[in-house]
Amino acid sequence: MVTDDLTRAAAARATRWRDARVVDVTHHGDRGVVLRLDVPDRIPHRPGQHYVLRLRAEDGYTASRSYSVVSAPSEDLVELYVERIPDGEVSTFLVDVVEPGDLLETRGPIGRWFVWDGRSRALGIGGGSGVAPLVSMLRHAHEIGRPELLSLAVTARSAAELPYVDELRAAKALVALTRVNDLPPGPTRLDAAVLGALVDPGATVYLCGSTRFTLAMETHLAVGGQPASTIRVERFGAGVAPG
């Protein structure tokens, strides 16, 4: 009961809006940006959780979107990766306009379902910017000295379009590049055969990316015999995350 109350109190604090300061902005060409934020009175996140960013215009108009935390819970700054969606209202602003020193309204960390605490086996499967929460899991696994608990399979069109490609490769993630497979040897798709070989009924699967991607992966996993009850899904959007 006491822990329940504490969790509730932390959740209530997490939903408060705070002005975070942008400390660091690293562009990935014109495809995306890594933002590092100093969040005052920060509550440590659990790998897999996200923050909501809210942009506010002079006249009070606001737009808010969710972004998964990439950093490990122990890191001082909250790291986010934002993929630039053409014509996207919030992502284009974050990629094109935001500079160090800017203040962004944030709240978080949010989510208690798509989270992995590093205590049991996990298989992370990510497409494109969907690798963001998996990288947080990966950093956490290394920090707690349990890298063997986490297997990763990720995909993008090319290495340039895969955020955190070096970090993922260093961790021996299976990398599938669908258009420009310039990192041989590697598969060009996460297809039924590739996923079938990864099936592990004793692990929890964390599946993250666009709707089309996650639906395809769910089908492959089901065919391969991964129990549906072990699969947790985070969907990022329309090209497409609770509904």
Residues binding ligand FAD (CB under 6 A): 50, 65-68, 81-83, 85, 87-92, 129, 132, 210, 234, 236-241
137 to 196, contacts with another protein by CB under 8 A? none
Write the CA distances from 161 to 48, 80, 131, 155, integer angstroms.
21, 16, 11, 9
Owner of token pair 């329309």: 238
56 binds another protein (CB under 8 A): yes
Q: Count of alpha carbons within 13 Å of 51, Cβ hemisphere only?
A: 31
Whether the CB-CB separation of 18 and 106 falls below 8 Å is answered with yes
Quickly count: other Cβ atoms within 10 Å of residue 133's Cβ.
29
The CB-nearest residue to ligand FAD is 88
Partner in contact with 179, chosen from ligand FAD, another protein, none, beta carbon below 5 to 8 Å by kind: none
Residue of 41, 61, 86, 148 that binds another protein (CB under 8 A): 61
Q: Cα 21 to chain center, whole Å?
A: 21
Least Å from the CB of residue 164 to ligand FAD: 11
Nearer to ligand FAD, 156 or 199 (CB): 156
Write the CA distances from 1 to 4, 8, 10, 45, 139, integer angstroms.
5, 11, 14, 21, 31
Least Å from the CB of residue 191 to another protein: 18
Partner in contact with 83, chosen from another protein, ligand FAD, none, beta carbon below 5 to 8 Å by kind: ligand FAD
80 binds another protein (CB under 8 A): no
103 binds another protein (CB under 8 A): yes
3 binds another protein (CB under 8 A): no
Nearer to ligand FAD, 224 or 237 (CB): 237
Partner in contact with 68, chosen from ligand FAD, another protein, none, beta carbon below 5 to 8 Å by kind: ligand FAD
Partner in contact with 220, chosen from ligand FAD, another protein, none, beta carbon below 5 to 8 Å by kind: none
24 binds another protein (CB under 8 A): no
Which is nearest to 128 in space by CA: 92, 85, 183? Answer: 85
Partner in contact with 82, chosen from another protein, ligand FAD, none, beta carbon below 5 to 8 Å by kind: ligand FAD
Classified as helix, coil or strand, 165 is: helix
Q: Which long-range contacts (CB under 8 A, 24 or more apart) does 3-9 make?
A: none
Stretches 128-136, 144-152, 153-161, 217-225: which one binds another protein (CB under 8 A)? Answer: 217-225
Show the DSSP H helices in the chain as ranges. Answer: 2-14, 89-96, 132-143, 165-170, 192-196, 211-224
| Tokens linked to 15 | 């939903």
